[in-house]
Structure 1
Amino acid sequence: MDQFDLIKGVFEPEEAKEILLYLIDGKIQFHQNRIFSDRIRFGTENQDSLKRIEELKTTKENILKLIADDKLSIHSQINVEKVANSKVA
């Protein structure tokens, strides 16, 4: 497994909000595109993406509640691991 630092540092509240919401909104957009694609190609709703969007929206709400007037230390790593003989989701 490989690890990559995605976010590492101390941020002012507005910077933290911008960075975190950009990531979450990007993931929401990814899943919305996936839903649209599946609807057009297969005539079905992608239930996994619908569920993930709801989870991400909840995360977004919780982050907005957390961000106040204080600086925030944010550390985010991505762990990438190859999975043999798996279906790409």
Structure 2
Amino acid sequence: MELNEDVVADVRKRLRRAQGQVGGLIQMIDEGRECREVIIQLAAVSRALDRAGFRLIASGLEQCLSDDSEQGAADREQLEKLFLTLA
């Protein structure tokens, strides 16, 4: 499966943002910041990673649905498994 360049660019952007958030989290822990603040940022990182994963899966599903071949059916099964992994 080949992904659209716009999707890849969007996922990269999301992952870079999450990477920055992880760095911020490490710094917060090193500084001894309040547990509540750390957890809020941890949740934000988790959502950012989830969104990147769901964006990839959604793009793959879109491509599979437009594919009428038998390979499309196999890809749908793989995408379903991947989707459930993220859920």
TM-score by length of 2: 0.55
* Structure of higher RCO (CA pairs closer than 8 Å, 6+ residues apart): 1
What percent identity do the matched residue pairs reach? Answer: 8
**What's the counterpart of residue 25 of structure 2?**
35
> Gapped runs of 5+ residues in structure 1?
1-11, 71-89
Name 2:41's counterpart in structure 1. 49
| Alpha-carbon separation, structure 1, partners of 2:29 and 2:8 | 31
Higher strand share: 1
- Asked if 1:15 corresponds to 2:5, the answer is yes
Q: Give the secondary-structure state (helix, strand or coil) at the position aligned to 1:42.
A: coil
Per-residue Cα deviation, 1:17-75 (whole angstroms, up to 9, x for no partner): 320111111111111011110111226551121001111122112101111349xxxxx
Unaligned runs of 5+ in 2: 65-87
Structure showing the higher helix proportion among its residues: 2
The CA RMSD over aligned residues, in Å, is: 2.3
Aligned length: 59
Runs of 4+ with >4 A deviation: none
Tell me the SS of whatever aligns to 1:13: coil
